[in-house]
Amino acid sequence: MASFATRSASQAIRASRRVSGIAAKAALRPAQTASYSLLARAAAAKAAQTPVVHGVRGIKTLDFAGVKETVYERSDWPLAKLQDYFKNDTLALIGYGSQGHGQGLNARDNGLNVIVGVRENGESWRQAIEDGWVPGETLFPIEEAINKGTIIMNLLSDAAQSQTWPKIAPLIVPGKTLYFSHGFSVVYKEDTKVIPPKDVDVILVAPKGSGRTVRTLFKEGRGINSSIAVWQDVTGKAKEKAVAIGVAVGSGYMYETTFEKEVYSDLYGERGVLMGGIQGLFLAQYQVLRKNGHSPSEAFNETVEEATQSLYPLIGQKGMDYMFNACSTTARRGALDWAPIFEKANVPIFEKLYESVKNGTETRKSLEYNSRSTYRQDLAKELAEIDNQEIWRAGKVVRSLRPDYKSDSE
Ligand SMILES: NC(=O)c1ccc[n+]([C@@H]2O[C@H](COP(=O)([O-])OP(=O)(O)OC[C@H]3O[C@@H](n4cnc5c(N)ncnc54)[C@H](OP(=O)(O)O)[C@@H]3O)[C@@H](O)[C@H]2O)c1
């Protein structure tokens, strides 16, 4: 369904583009040729000489399998318009984890004025210097960066957002905008104590992927899908600003939602099919194969390798029906019979998971765990345990036989 929706979305966007924007398109064409990629920096100088056109070609309301939703697209924001929109702003990225890295470098490559604020001499400080941020010029301790910025992009870990809030809150003064990439801190305010001041815009752009993907898609000239939302609109421009920043940090299409919906779906998805569920399902299938005498390589190939290398990419490209059609009649028959059995068995687990997200249990666990001073070491230990499971040790050997093999450390 998801990929069908995506397909209809891009078809509809293409169609609406054809109909709605002919005149505006002609006006926007010179700036639109500038790409949102690494080349954008070079293009920035050229774009500065290009006449700025603030043409809005309209919001796209698309029909997603019978439900109308609003989608914003990057092509409404040619580089020159984007740079003009933020010409008086300093984007202060607070935190330099995966999202800080991806969003920060993309906004910088788009020619915007970006600075980074992180703990001095921590891991992120070192990483930021490696990426070309310069101490005292574009890299500052957190509080200094907030004072210098107009758009405060809080990209600390969710636990750190809560821990540092007492120091950060007084610095978010009128005129600044507060930005998040997750609804976590403000939606679960009873637990996090993050309560934004009433007199600033509070917005969200949540890329639907790791910060590394935010960066690689941008470098390829593509854009990641992101959710956008407004928590507080003081200036009347909060939504427009969210869309513009979404474009600045590397989004291609932006889907409108609320802070609450974003955080519920995100916590649910990552615990479910995206990460927790898939590790659990892979492991369960592998264990039963091993118990029944199958070798590690056979169990791994039949569980992970074929999924990730052959079948899941087909789902990603053209949908579940396409993947089914690409398989044998024997496989199709069995999969059609077993899918509803898995669905039925799993719905109660997903119900339980959604409730655990909604009632804040997941948030409290995450805050407790990630607020420990040893959070990096604790996490490394648990991940090492996964890495040491037989399934993933077998996987390393299988991967090493691929023609394009690169060692995991490369
Ligand atoms: N990663 C994703 O896939 C993803 C996707 C969409 C949205 N998001 C959201 O984006 C935001 C950032 O996530 P992320 O994954 O990029 O970062 P992260 O890895 O969760 O956080 C890393 C940053 O937090 C800092 N930090 C941790 N504890 C701190 C403390 N006590 N005081 C000061 N700084 C502290 C780290 O600095 P040090 O190096 O100094 O420890 C580092 O700069 C979160 O709201 C997250 O939910 C993430």
Q: Over the stretch 14-61, which tens digit does the pLDDT of each residue have?
A: 444 333 333 333 333 333 334 455 445 444 444 444 433 333 454 678
With the most atoms of ligand 1 within 8 angstroms of its CB, the residue from 99, 161, 192, 208 to mutate is 99
Closest CA to 109 of 154, 45, 53, 52: 45
The residue behind tokens 């993947």 is: 323
The 8-class DSSP code of residue 304 comes to I
242 CB near ligand 1 (under 6 Å): no
pLDDT at 37: 54
Atom 10 of ligand 1: nearest residue by CA position: 181
Please, are residues 95 and 155 in contact by the beta-carbon 8 Å criterion? Answer: yes
The response to whether residue 122 sits with its C-beta less than 6 Å from ligand 1 reads yes
For β-strands 139-140 and 60-64, DSSP reports them as unpaired
Closest CA to 2 of 212, 205, 255: 255
Which of the residues are catalytic? 182
Tokens at residue 212, please?
């590394």
Q: Which of ligand 1's atoms lies nearest the C-alpha of 185?
A: 45
Predicted local distance difference test score (pLDDT) of residue 23: 33
Ligand 1 binding pocket includes 99 (Cβ within 6 Å): yes
Nearest CA to ligand 1 atom 21: 157
Beta-bridged to residue 93, according to DSSP, are 116, 153
* Ligand 1 contacts CB of residue 207 (under 6 A): yes
Whether residue 101 has its Cβ less than 6 Å from ligand 1: no
Taking CA atoms only, the protein residue closest to ligand 1 atom 3 is: 210
Length of the chain equals 410
Q: Which residues of the chain have pLDDT under 50?
A: 1-35, 38-39, 41-56, 58
Nearest-CA neighbor of 295 among 168, 390, 196?
Answer: 390
User: Ligand 1 mean position to 358 CA, how many Å?
Assistant: 22
User: What is the pLDDT, as a whole number, of residue 366?
Assistant: 94
Residue 256 annotated as binding site: no
262 is in an annotated binding site: no
Range 279-282, long-range pairs (CB < 8 A, 24+ positions)? 279/386, 282/307, 282/391
Residue 266, CB-side half-sphere exposure with 13 Å CA sphere: 22
Cα 15 to averaged position of ligand 1 atoms, centre (Å):
39
* Ligand 1 atom having least distance to the Cα of 95: 43
Tell me how far CA of residue 166 lies from CA of 143, 161, 197, in angstroms. Answer: 12, 10, 12
Residue 302 marked in a binding site: yes
Nearest ligand 1 atom to the CA of 370 is: 28
Is the distance from the beta carbon of residue 266 to the nearest atom of ligand 1 less than 6 Å?
Answer: no
Exposed, middle or buried, 79 (CB in 10 Å: 0-12/13-18/19+)?
buried
Residue 179, CA distances (Å) to 94, 109, 154, 267 in order: 10, 20, 6, 19
Binding residue per annotation — 306? yes
- Is residue 410 marked as binding? no
For tokens 């809030």, what's the residue? 165
Cα 192 to middle of ligand 1, angstroms: 15
Atom 25 in ligand 1: which residue has the minimum CA distance? 156
Mutation choice for ligand 1 from 152, 155, 163, 245, CB with most ligand atoms inside 8 A: 155
* Ligand 1 closest atom vs CA 96: 43
- Left, alpha or beta for 294 (phi > 0: left; psi -120 to 50: alpha)? beta
Q: List CB contacts of 36: < 8 A, sequence separation 6 or more.
A: 74, 79, 106, 110, 218, 221, 223, 247, 250
C-alpha 157 – ligand 1 centre gap (Å): 3
